[in-house]
Structure 1
Amino acid sequence: MRNLFSKSRLLSFLTRAVHDKRGVTAVAFAITFAVLAPMSLGIFDVYTMTEQHGKLQDALDAATLYAARSNAFTTADVNTVGQKALTANLQLIPGASLQSSSFALVTTTAGDTKVVANAAVTLPAFAPMEFSHDAVAVTSEVTRPGNNLEVALVLDNTGSMAGSPMTSLQSAANQLIDLVVSPTQTPYYSKMAIVPYSNSVNAGSYATAARGILSSGQACGSNAYGCPNYTFNNAARPSRQETLPVTTCVSERVGTNAYNDNAPAGSPVGFVYQQPSSEGNNCISATIRPLSSDITALHSTIASLTANGSTAGHIGLAWGWYMISPNWANLFPSDSQGAAYGTPHLIKAVILMTDGDFNTTYCNGVISGITSATDGSAGSLTYHSNCGSPNGDSFTQAQNLCNAMKAAPNNIVIYSVGFLHSGTDIPAENILNNCATDSKHVYFPTTGSSLQAAFQAIAADLNKLRLSH
């Protein structure tokens, strides 16, 4: 057999190939394509990886920030919120898919809370033989801003709230508690106090500390003020005297501390002497509940509310202040004591709710005469004192208290809610508008559903304050 690959024949073949230009372009193109195509696809891989990395980082940052500002206080809840936000914001290039994602709450050694998030996206491989194709992975961290929350809920329990208005109030208040008081009290706490009021406030077991010890013995032979019974001249017939028994309800304090939150020692609040039950203006049965994170106990207080009596809105308002005041802290158990004003990461707020006109003031523990700030709805003049209120009418007292509460260093946020289920009430609307922090903190619901919506809006605002920079 002839040797096709002899030296002479091979040289001849190569010579002809060099001078034959018919296939040069095709061969060159083939060689170039074989080398450059994978490189080009690899460059495209790098480009898509970079583009997806940016999109993923932006989406994860937005989702982490959203989760950090949400009203979620467990890792499970934060993860749920974060996943929804990531899904809504993430843009994937064609062929890419979300491989994994997670959001978690992490407490630092400094006591701060962070939301830490991770996400990875699997990319399509355009040059599978040239480069490794690991998933695009990013992380995000947001230090969760937060504030402790102390809220006093001041609720109208007057006779006009009887029936469906009271039922609506209880439903709305219970929902407010659930929205504001968190089951998780770390790293920031959220506590609520409840102050039911009508013609006065029932201080219950705290009455003695707030008003002082009852006098006894010979000093009470004439039933003087501060004794178990008090004899006074009534407003219907000033020459006629009436005698009423003391209660655990309390009235406003007078003098230089009438409109501040100085401690009650040395400047006690007033006694309340109870009218006969036939008058329908008794000491209300529901007592105050100091600051608490016990959601069940707070609901129990709401369940105890009953409608009775006239309206001393200024007394309810004052006790809303006392409940979160550091100056009154020693009156209450350690877990219920208001922190000092100016404490970092602390919001103090009062929610004042009423269904109408303020019409009741006191003189020496007895509802004062009609000429000094009361009207017919405060009961019979037979059981009013013939002396006027030293502090003036209820609206004036309420406004003075509101002004002091909002002023520095107290800086208390005030929400006002006028549950006008019986129609327009201009005097009540005026005090509620003037008392609130601003117009955005005022609500005038007229139905049970709108009252619930108002309390939901307040809860949302409080949670924004709690989770804010």
Structure 2
Amino acid sequence: MLNFRTFKGDERGVTAIFFAVAFIVLVACIGAGTDSVRWFSARRITSDAVDAAVMAGMRQLQIKPDDKSDAVEAAVKFYQTNTIKRLPLLSDNITFAFNASGDAMHSSGTAYIATTFLNVVGITSLPVHSQNSAKATQPVGGYAGGNVEVSVMLDVTGSMCADNVGPCLSGAKMDGLKDAAKELVRLVVQDNQSTFTSRVALIPFSTRIRVAADGDGGAMMTALTGLDPSWSGYREECVTGSGSGGSEHGGDWVCSQAQVFQRNSLKISPCVSDRYFNDARGFDATDNPPGPDAWLNAHDGGRMPKGQDSSSTAHTCGHGDVDTDPATNWNYADGYCADVMGGNIVHPLSSNKSSLNSRIDALEGYGSTAGALGTAWAWYTLSPRWNGIFTGASAPGSYADLTTLDATTKAPRLRKIAVLMTDGGYNTYRTWKDQDQTVVSDYATSVCTNMKNAGIEVYTVAFGLDQLSAAEGSKARATLQGCGTDIKHFYETLTPSDLKSAFRNIGLSISKLRLVQ
């Protein structure tokens, strides 16, 4: 039989066991807390590094689409760089690879951190990465969850040539412009247009905007200006002249003798100029579609023989119906455009990269800087109000889609973006050269303001403004900065390489990647 003394001895043993167990539990709890902090830190750094790595890899693939190994290497380097400060791991076999279709990079493999206290209770390691935890994809259509439309205004004036006059198909600046524009097209326009669409429009500009090749575009010019596709009548033409008409500037050409000729079926020149109203002495800075009292002016800055400006007010003389009242306009020159080279034709919205690149290759520098006109056309090609001009596959999407979310992706159905590039001060309107830069720049800024108010995102790119006078360069820079959505949307470039980098950055920002967990 147990006596009291024996019971007391047993009680001491039980107490010892209790404290031993409690100590183990306490150590485990403290260890769990310590190891949890270490695990959480390592897991967070690893997860962030993996996410950043797959995005970096996909960005590299966008830059060099034919080199997937280079993209994988970029992902690996990015991962290694971003895990330098992470606690040492027990193991890390994380790798990066592309899926079979090549449009997504994913991570795979595992990584573990060793425990310091939990191994007392048999837990020797904790996972900080699991198989296939991150994937970066290029969204179909080029924008994460919606369609995208991009208009690109390109300065193809004489200052883009080595002699600042032109014409030139090639040269450091023109070649740089073409490379940059092609890079933007490559990044924005996706091959797969089945789910979402990505389209680009090209607006080369100089003294005028060309809408068709010489001898063509009669129907388009009628829709834009209200003028007939061809004209017959009496016209006063110069037969003796001297001097030069100039390119960037007005030149010194003068006519010393003119004569009236009867002409038959002269084709309209397929180029237009700014919309302007004489009575109000004002520009039109809206995206109103062309029509009565809202016509674009034609090749010579007016609409003769019908009218002198964008209004529908008929002019009372200079119609050319009789030889005593000859026409004096230059809107019918048998389909020829002055100061605008033949390849510099506006290309409306398209997802045909081959067509866009061919048009870029044909660009040729010559003429003066009607920058406000180019800015307006960047808007026109994006405006649904111009769907009577740009139809079918080139028709711009609705403004309403800019603020309507896609039911599946929860992103806006549509994004409209204008990219405005120039190398000079705006000095031309209505084909009139050597005009006050402030007047033309203010007109361009008004167009930009209204375009942004319509929901269009605007990027601006200055190219080689250091070659201008201090005053001209300062005004040009301020105009582009004011036109952009914000200062982050403004790029100042000095070299062709800089220009391509700017267009690449814009293209990458437009062609957003998606991270899928």
Q: Residues 420, 138 of structure 1: CA spacing in aligned structure 2 closer, same or farther, 3 A cutoff?
A: closer
1:99-178 aligned within 5 A: 120-122=110-112, 124=114, 131=122, 136=127, 148-162=147-161, 163-178=171-186
Separation (CA, whole Å) in 2 of partners of 1:185 and 1:277 = 37
1:399 to 428, 432, 445: 445
Q: Per-residue displacement from partner, 1:262-306 (whole Å, max 9, x unpaired)?
A: 222443322213779999725543211122333333222210101
Q: Per-residue displacement from partner, 1:298-347 (whole Å, max 9, x unpaired)?
A: 22221010122222222211111111112113433443332223523243
In the alignment, does 2:475 pair up with 1:430? yes
In the alignment, does 2:469 pair up with 1:417? no
For the residue of structure 1 that corresponds to 2:268, the secondary structure is strand
2:45 to 48, 52, 59: 59
Q: 1:96 is aligned with what amino acid?
A: L
Q: Tell me if structure 1 keeps the 8 A contact 2:52–2:78.
A: yes
Q: Tell me if structure 2 keeps the 8 A contact 1:64–1:142.
A: no
In the alignment, does 2:377 pair up with 1:319? yes
Separation (CA, whole Å) in 2 of partners of 1:131 and 1:242 = 106
Paired position in structure 2 for 1:50: 36
In the alignment, does 2:327 pair up with 1:259? no
Deviation, structure 1 residue 176: 2.9
Separation (CA, whole Å) in 1 of partners of 2:233 and 2:335 = 25
Q: Tell me if structure 1 keeps the 8 A contact 2:269–2:336.
A: no
Deviation, structure 1 residue 62: 2.1
Paired position in structure 2 for 1:388: none
Q: Residues 328, 294 of structure 1: CA spacing in aligned structure 2 closer, same or farther, 3 A cutoff?
A: same
1:352 to 404, 420, 436: 420
1:186-335 aligned within 5 A: 189-204=197-212, 207-208=220-221, 210-212=223-225, 214-215=227-228, 220-222=232-234, 246-255=268-277, 258-266=284-292, 267-272=294-299, 273=331, 281-282=339-340, 284-335=342-393
1:86-97 aligned within 5 A: 86-87=79-80, 88-89=82-83, 96-97=90-91
Paired position in structure 2 for 1:336: 394
Separation (CA, whole Å) in 1 of partners of 2:72 and 2:34 = 28
Q: Per-residue displacement from partner, 1:96-134 (whole Å, max 9, x unpaired)?
A: 2135577999xxxxxxxx999776434558988964778
Equivalent pairs: percent with the same residue? 25
Separation (CA, whole Å) in 1 of partners of 2:335 and 2:367 = 10
Aligned length: 409
Q: 1:247 is aligned with what amino acid?
A: S
Q: Tell me if structure 1 keeps the 8 A contact 2:97–2:105.
A: yes
2:497 to 449, 463, 468: 449
Q: Tell me if structure 2 keeps the 8 A contact 1:64–1:116.
A: no
Query: Is the deviation greater in 158-167 or in 124-133?
Result: 124-133
Q: Unaligned 5+ residue runs, structure 2?
A: 1-5, 7-13, 63-67, 162-170, 242-252, 300-330, 404-411
Q: Tell me if structure 1 keeps the 8 A contact 2:39–2:126.
A: no
Separation (CA, whole Å) in 2 of partners of 1:341 and 1:69 = 31
Q: Residues 186, 351 of structure 1: CA spacing in aligned structure 2 closer, same or farther, 3 A cutoff?
A: same
Query: Is the deviation greater in 138-147 or in 320-329?
Result: 138-147
Q: Residues 209, 458 of structure 1: CA spacing in aligned structure 2 closer, same or farther, 3 A cutoff?
A: farther
Separation (CA, whole Å) in 2 of partners of 1:152 and 1:71 = 28
For the residue of structure 1 that corresponds to 2:387, the secondary structure is helix
Q: Tell me if structure 2 keeps the 8 A contact 1:415–1:436.
A: yes
Separation (CA, whole Å) in 2 of partners of 1:279 and 1:184 = 38
Deviation, structure 1 residue 447: 2.8
Q: Tell me if structure 2 keeps the 8 A contact 1:197–1:284.
A: no
Q: 2:357 is aligned with what amino acid?
A: H
Deviation, structure 1 residue 353: 2.0
Separation (CA, whole Å) in 2 of partners of 1:338 and 1:70 = 32
Q: Tell me if structure 1 keeps the 8 A contact 2:96–2:105.
A: no
Query: Is the deviation greater in 49-58 or in 121-130?
Result: 121-130
Separation (CA, whole Å) in 2 of partners of 1:128 and 1:56 = 18
For the residue of structure 1 that corresponds to 2:153, the secondary structure is strand
Q: Residues 82, 51 of structure 1: CA spacing in aligned structure 2 closer, same or farther, 3 A cutoff?
A: farther
Q: 1:194 is aligned with what amino acid?
A: L
For the residue of structure 1 that corresponds to 2:369, the secondary structure is coil
Please tell me the root mean square deviation across aligned C-alpha atoms, in Å: 5.4
Deviation, structure 1 residue 260: 0.6
Q: Tell me if structure 1 keeps the 8 A contact 2:150–2:382.
A: yes
Q: Tell me if structure 1 keeps the 8 A contact 2:229–2:267.
A: no
Paired position in structure 1 for 2:435: 373
Q: Per-residue displacement from partner, 1:370-402 (whole Å, max 9, x unpaired)?
A: 7x9389xxxxxxxxxxxxxxxx95334323322
1:77-92 aligned within 5 A: 86-87=79-80, 88-89=82-83
Separation (CA, whole Å) in 1 of partners of 2:98 and 2:288 = 44
Q: Tell me if structure 1 keeps the 8 A contact 2:283–2:443.
A: no
Q: Residues 95, 197 of structure 1: CA spacing in aligned structure 2 closer, same or farther, 3 A cutoff?
A: closer
Q: Residues 350, 53 of structure 1: CA spacing in aligned structure 2 closer, same or farther, 3 A cutoff?
A: same
Q: 1:89 is aligned with what amino acid?
A: T
For the residue of structure 2 that corresponds to 1:449, the secondary structure is helix
Q: Tell me if structure 2 keeps the 8 A contact 1:56–1:138.
A: no
- What TM-score comes out, normalization by structure 2 length? 0.60
Paired position in structure 2 for 1:13: none
Q: Tell me if structure 2 keeps the 8 A contact 1:360–1:373.
A: yes
Q: 1:350 is aligned with what amino acid?
A: A
Q: Residues 352, 127 of structure 1: CA spacing in aligned structure 2 closer, same or farther, 3 A cutoff?
A: closer
Q: Unaligned 5+ residue runs, structure 1?
A: 1-17, 19-27, 106-113, 224-229, 376-391
Higher helix share: 1
